[in-house]
Chain A
């Protein structure tokens, strides 16, 4: 190291820094992390909006390295970048938005378990290297190559803690159901990433319910708020049921699809209620991809406008809690796909 340059200060002062030190990218470390992928380092992954700097496999590796990733995490990071650049995910929009949503990664399949992406207690962080660094690699790519930087191209009002990192697996050990990926048609042996543009979670604590109706009522309530964009536009949402809550439903004979359907059905508010605060506009309601009567105060507006928009997972440790992550207003559709190990 050059004695005049403190490597940590060098990167901490970069405009694209996330505020934390990075692992210093030396050629030796870069070569080592590139050993984690079979991809050609010069292979173009894609341009990162809005700055549209091109990310090659090597560029992704360098950011993964800086984030603290092990070589074996690299396939997940590359797979996530590829997914993230899909048109329907609309990363360009979220890089500039006033909102604070972040691309949440739900990693399914055997490879996630092999490299230690955690889905049990504490899975939303901090504390688990794979979760923390894979998610962070994505953010560093978004800030450096994409220039999604507050005050530069990002108008985010608050940002959000989940913009530091947002990656987890499901708790398949304790889940009574098959995974999110299987519910989307993949096999349990497929290595899949699902990404949804959502906020940090709010929690539904319920240590009272011992049957699904009351439990799901509470979770559904957590899915609606006057100030939530889910009530005023078509938007994705992640509901991460803790295994204890999932068991209440499964023990009553409910399948994952039953729970999914029930939440889509009951999560919502009446027009008359929504008018009293938040982002209600009549013309917004008329844009919904469902039939709506915005002049009928008793008309029920569902939080989930299309069943595909609800990403239901089982994650977290034991305890009476479900995490609900609200979505964005900017027209992002969750994406999913297999990634190459």
Chain B
């Protein structure tokens, strides 16, 4: 889907990039990366759904994934 597409475009421009998705879209994300010659590109998967979480719970959840995000953007 589109955030994956954005990451692909950043990578093509030489900018290390990762995507944050929700679990329901994992297959779609894998497909998009594979279809664009970036099979196995690292990205972050949040448990689905997130849309109905209250903001404070959302922040708590996001904090759990910060180190993973960082690991995708540096060596």
Q: Are chains A and B touching in the complex at the 8 Å CB cutoff?
A: yes
Which chain A residues have a beta carbon within 8 Å of chain B's beta carbons? Answer: 50-52, 92-93, 96, 98, 147, 151-155
Q: Which residues in window 1-56 of B have CB below 8 A to A?
A: 1-2, 5, 24-25, 27-28, 31-32, 35-36
Per DSSP, chain B at the interface is: helix
Per DSSP, chain A at the interface is: loop
Contact A96 B35 (CB under 8 A): no
Contact B31 A50 (CB under 8 A): yes
Contact A50 B25 (CB under 8 A): no
Give the Cβ gap from A95 to chain B, nearest Cβ, in Å. Answer: 9
Which chain B residues have a beta carbon within 8 Å of chain A's beta carbons? Answer: 1-2, 5, 24-25, 27-28, 31-32, 35-36
The residue of chain B having its C-beta at the shortest distance from the C-beta of A281 within the complex is B51
Complex alpha-carbon distance, A154 and B25, angstroms: 8
Given A92-B2, A93-B2, A96-B1, A155:B24 Cβ within 8 A: yes
Which residues from chain B contact A147 at a C-beta distance below 8 Å?
31, 35
Complex alpha-carbon distance, A51 and B33, angstroms: 10
Complex alpha-carbon distance, A52 and B27, angstroms: 17
User: Which single member of A51, A93, A98, A155 contacts B27 (CB below 8 Å)?
Assistant: A155
Give the Cβ gap from A49 to chain B, nearest Cβ, in Å. Answer: 9
Would you list 8 pairs from A and B whose C-beta atoms are within 8 A, ordered by A residue? Answer: A50-B35, A52-B36, A92-B5, A93-B2, A152-B28, A152-B31, A153-B31, A153-B35
